[in-house]
Amino acid sequence: MNLEGKTAVVTGASRGIGRATALALAGAGASVVINYTQNESAALEVKSLIEEGGGSAIAIKADVSDYSRCEDLVQGAIDHFKRIDILINNAGITRDNLLARMKMEDWQEVIDTNLNGVYNCCKAAIRPLLKQKSGGRIINVASVSGIYGNSGQANYAAAKGGVIAFTRTLAKELGSRNITVNAVAPGFIESEMTAVLSDRVKEEILSRIALGRLGRPEDVAEVILFLASSANYVTGQVIAVDGSMSL
């Protein structure tokens, strides 16, 4: 998997799946734009790790729910690295609650970041990708919740379901220009969100996973790396990375 000479933009790259993905892409030779919204120190730590490994990276603060900031993010990548080849839409938030108790702002914030953010970044990146005439890769981080739903996550599941439909549609629009568009759908991944789950809830989750463990961010990053580098004839697909939970 060789990404020498390629530039990748990874949203939400200061922690979790985004962090692991940024490190994996850099390890394959890509120059990486580390996007973050709030945690600058964590983003700079990822940048340092990449540079210590001999790679090249910059960190750019941008709220993906704001289209103008997404334009700035893409332009920042082009200004620094002269091109953009890979876009990983990973930034996301949760505001979980049963719908009867869910506040409108909790619904809207999740839609704005998790769904509109994917639109914003893709919209901002498409023109430069087309202008380069060298193809490209777009990988969107969805969720198994977007496929099967999940109680207490009406906002999150709706957003991720929208990402899946968006992915398949954009793949049809961009295929003739050699730009592939795919999605990964993680299951339960070790993260700050899963760390707060009770032992009872974790046991119930593990009982549904054939591999008997929660996923690691690196498990998802490896699939993203494959889609970004080797999957030349794969587009419009949604790959579940969930240890069999969705079977």
Sheet (strand 179-186) strand order? 57-61, 31-36, 7-10, 86-89, 136-141, 179-186, 238-241
The strand pairing partners of 60, in sequence order, are 35
The Cα 79–Cα 33 span in angstroms is 11
Catalytic residues: 156
Tokens 């839409």 locate to: 89
Q: How far is CA 36 from CA 8, 40, 189, in A?
A: 14, 7, 20
The Cα 168–Cα 103 span in angstroms is 30
